[in-house]
A and B are shown apart, each in its own frame.
Chain A
Amino acid sequence: MSYLEYQVKYVPTGLRKLLYLNWPLVFLVTAVACLGFLMLYSVAGGDLGRWAEPQMKRFALGLTLMMIVAMVPVYFWRNVAALAYAVSLLLLLMVEFVGVTGMGAQRWIDLGFMRLQPSELMKITLVMLLAAYYDWLPLKKASRPFWVLVPLIFIALPTMLVLRQPDLGTSILLVMGGGTMMFLAGVHWAYFGTVIAAGIGLIAAVFQSRGTSWQLLENYQYRRIDTFLDPSADPIGAGYHITQAKIALGSGGWTGRGFMQGTQSRLNFLPEKHTDFIFTTLAEEFGFLGAFALLVLYALIILFCVLSALQNRDRFASLLTLGIAMTFFLFFAVNMAMVMGLAPVVGVPLPLVSYGGSAMLVLLGAFGLVQSAHVHRPRQR
């Protein structure tokens, strides 16, 4: 059933929409963000103004954005999906030319009041576009080669631009997020089997090509892989972060050292302790219980998204919700795996916790989409 078919009178209107919001999701998101403020306050050594306060302002801004997005009927978002994707792609192209270099990569566009990271935006708009695409495409065509190729191009374009920046983490997230959308939409299993086989082949090629003239990754990316495989090989360079992150995390124990008592994060071992490595501080200060609690909060957010999607009979809305849930999952799973030494360091922030404006706003905007899908779901009486 598509939006046009359901009867408008059964869908809440005006401020009554507020009552129909997915309130548990709002509380969960706020809870995670509050945990983030605490950690930012702690890593700044008890300085509120350094990171925690700006982060709170951004969260307030993001929450407002979420509400506004939630109030707009979901069919509007479906109709502008292609436009949103095109704008994000354009912004990514602009980064190539007018981008500001930060942390050794070109990722930002300076808007004056904030620095926008178009690759963050792209993660969501790609999901939107693919959801709209599969909403439009008749189900039985989904597995035909041509109609499989089209979304592949949608994924490949931004991925290549992001790889050029270079930002390996975001490109992995884009590919996996896009792939999940295709999977959810019902593309035949055989495609995914082929891709996984090809992926294993590609990994082999990446390692084989190292040192030759056609090597596929940048040297620093190879070194990160090396460091991941054997952190002790370069303990003072790149491996230093991993070793120190693991020490901080492991030394937390069951209950941690207590709020503001972490010695490892206090001693400035970690260069990105307020962004990508913030999880180590949480794990050190609140121990296994704190770290696991965060994981549970994240799991609940996913759970509420999935429940909302499964209730929703609108194809676009449920695809969008599941896609956003997957993107969110990829964020925290990759980040946690990275700081725990299960994945190479690729530069993915911990969602809603790491210090950073673009990611926070984009994520809350995405949750606005989830809310909009939830509020405006077709209802039958």
Chain B
Amino acid sequence: MKRRDAETAESVRRISRRGLVMVGGQVAIMGVLGWRMRSMQVDQAESYRLLAEENRISVQLLPPARGLIFDVNGVPLAENAQNYRIIMVREEAGDAERALRDLADLVPLTGEEIDRALEEALSRPPHIRVPIAERVRWEDLSRVAVNAPALPGIYPEVGLSRHYPLGEDTAHIVGYVGPVSDYDLSRIEDPDPMLLLPRFQIGKTGVEQKHEGDLRGKAGNRQVEVNAAGRVMRELGRIEGTPGADLQLTIDARLQNYVQARLAGESASVVVMDCDTGDIRAIASAPSFDPNLFVRGISVADWNGLNENKYRPLAAKAVQGAYPPGSTFKMVTAMAALEAGVIGPEDTVYCPGHTEVSGLRFHCWRRTGHGNVNLHTSLKESCDVYYYDIAQRVGVDKIAEMARRLGLGMRHEVPMSAVSGGLIPDRAWKAETRGEQWRIGDTVNASIGQGYVLTSPLQLAVMIARLATGRSVTPRLVRSVDGIEQPDGAGEMLGLNENNLRRIRASLFDVCNSQRGTAYRSRIVAEGMRMAGKTGTSQVRRITAEERARGVTRNEDLPWERRDHALWVNYAPAEAPKYAVAVVVEHGGGGSTAAAPIGRDVTLQALYDGAPPLDAYPETARREAEDLQRRLELRDIRGPLSRDRA
């Protein structure tokens, strides 16, 4: 490329000019840098040197008090208890290992504790306060305080640690806190510096985890001047943190305690919901565990014990469990058929004890059959063949749609861990997930809540509450956050035909209160307290033709894992529904014998807000009820409000 000389000259001139402007700018900036150096290192050197040498600033993070959790009456479910502990600041201790050895001469420390403290201290910045021992006895603590001059960088301290006064009763709801793990940190994009404090505790499960943001609060800090030995000379400034917000749950601790006690020995779950507001009064899963074990750091033996228990104490079955709903699903099928107009309430189906569908034989639970059955008797006596028939007429998609309107097959927003969405199958679902066509046999199975249908106890409670009220009641577990009331779950009208609902409710009433009803033995006789409900018994295995022929279908003959689940849903009082209850007893056998009595007892306890009078029970059940009342060991729970009431 050839350039004219004039152009080259112009280019050189311009570059020189602009280059000099650039240099001018650079000189100016370097001047600023040099001036800054001078002002910091010469003019202010004295003050900086003072800070550096004699009195170093030490900043201590002040962790906020975690928000408390109360029940609906103000009974504390999670509180902060004081505990004495010993902490170390590595930069002041110098040789951390020697400091810990010296400390071990004064205070009993296990090798494990020393190693853990050492590892934590070395992996963090040197000014961080690392706890060495928690829950130290007062004598040990004072020995550390007396020997402070010989133990630089080691301090006694009063800390707060989480305590769950109701222990097992609320373990699945409230959850527990534990130290921040690397996994926790990796999931947080931008961790609060507080989380990096050694053994800082955050919610791991349940409400503690889901409401971590509300409960944690904001850290404050204090700046102190320390001398060369690390002794605090004076406090320069203090920024107070904000304590976490308190939560009030909808749970009634006394009812919760009763339910948990009533379920003792079973692998079962119960949900008690307020029909008007969706407030969950009790949500219990049994067996449970002591969350305080986790706060302290659970031992391997305890952990293995919980993990290997076949009743799965760690699982919050009330929300995590997904069970075939069995006959408790029949209201859904019935409502779908009634709303679609494919049956009238008085239309009958003949039940010979079984039915043939596309070459397969489907049995009714009563082998001799129910004869001519209409809607009322089909629910009251829980005839299966009736539902096989109407389900084929209405089709699975309409049944699935009705199930979803009634709150099944969807995840309800409650702040507990691993809330299950259950499963309501339809044609599209099967095509999508299994790549198979829907078969008529699938509809038949689904009609009585078997086959692919799965529901959680919470969903069943929502379903029965919606049937009782006709509104789309949704569950609410947290009543208020920091004193601000959360929206309730009363919901809108579902738009279901009121006549159809009334038919279903009348049938459910007779399930309990008519001689031939499946739950007649578990009825309530007190006027104005009577309940309406539905039993369910769901198979977890297929009964082979051979077994049927031999007659080995009795649950008692089977190993526990293969026995039927026992289910129960009800609301009460039947005339003006107040509470909706769902009970699932895993592998408990028949719904009417294993689940309905629990539902009755829990309902009575809720309706009477305490132990019910014995004459609420039918005469035949009074002795047993009295026995039970005497046997159950309940906690003495008195909240601020319950005292007022008394």
Contacts and interface: CB of A to CB of B under 8 A. Distances in A.
Contacts of B2: 2, 4-5
Contacts of A252: 41, 45
Interface of B: 1-3, 5, 7-8, 10-12, 14-16, 18-19, 21-23, 26-27, 29-30, 32-34, 36-38, 40-42, 44-45, 47-49, 51-53, 57, 59-61, 91, 125-127, 189-190, 193, 221, 223
B11 A254 contact: no
Contacts of B51: 247, 250-251
Please tell me the size bucket of the interface on A: 35 or more
Sorted nearest first, the 5 A-B pairs with minimum C-beta distance are A250-B48, A251-B52, A288-B41, A253-B45, A237-B193
A263 to B, nearest CB: 6
Contact of B57 (A243, A248, A342): A243
A127 interface: no
Given A247-B52, A253-B49, A264-B52, A288 B42 contact: yes
B34 A295 contact: yes
A213 B2 CA distance: 55
Contacts of B29: 329, 333
A219 B33 contact: no
Contacts of B127: 269
B45 A267 contact: no
A315 B15 contact: yes
Interface of A: 1-2, 4-5, 136, 138-139, 180, 183-186, 219-220, 234-237, 240, 243, 246-254, 263-264, 267-269, 271, 283, 287-288, 291-292, 295, 298-299, 302, 306, 309-310, 313, 315, 318-319, 322, 326, 329, 333, 336-337, 340, 342
B11 A315 contact: yes
A251 B22 contact: no
Given A240-B59, A295-B37, A337-B33, A254 B52 contact: no
B91 A183 contact: no
Contact of B33 (A136, A288, A295): A295
Q: Which one of B11, B49, B59, B223 has the greatest number of beta carbons of chain A within 10 Å? A: B11
Chain A binding surface SS class = helix
A263 B48 CA distance: 12
Chain B binding surface SS class = helix
Contact of A2 (B3, B36, B59, B91): B3
B41 A310 contact: no
Contact of B22 (A180, A288, A336): A180
Nearest to B46: A253
Nearest to A218: B190
A322 B49 contact: no
B42 A253 contact: yes
Given A186-B15, A253-B45, A337-B33, 7 more contacts: A138-B7, A235-B57, A249-B41, A250-B48, A254-B45, A329-B29, A333-B29
Contacts of A268: 91, 125-126
Given A1-B5, A235-B59, A315-B15, A340 B30 contact: no
Contacts of B27: 299
Nearest to A329: B26
Nearest to A182: B18
A340 B40 CA distance: 8
A318 B42 contact: no
B48 A246 contact: yes
A253 B57 contact: no
B8 A318 contact: no
Given A2-B1, A246-B40, A299-B30, A251 B45 contact: yes
A306 B37 contact: no
A268 B122 CA distance: 12
A138 to B, nearest CB: 8
Contacts of A220: 190
Nearest to B237: A232
25 contacts: A5-B3, A184-B18, A184-B19, A184-B22, A186-B18, A247-B52, A250-B40, A250-B45, A251-B51, A253-B45, A263-B53, A264-B52, A267-B91, A268-B125, A287-B41, A295-B34, A302-B26, A306-B19, A310-B19, A315-B11, A322-B22, A333-B26, A333-B29, A333-B30, A340-B33
B242 to A, nearest CB: 15
Contact of A236 (B22, B61, B91, B189): B61
Contacts of A240: 59
Contact of A250 (B34, B49, B60): B49
Given A263-B53, A288-B42, A295-B34, A1 B8 contact: yes
A190 to B, nearest CB: 14
A246 B5 CA distance: 54
A295 B221 CA distance: 37
Contact of B32 (A250, A299, A342): A342
Contact of B34 (A136, A249, A292, A319): A292
A224 to B, nearest CB: 12
B60 to A, nearest CB: 8
B49 A295 contact: no
A254 B42 contact: yes
Contacts of A246: 40, 48
A298 B34 CA distance: 12
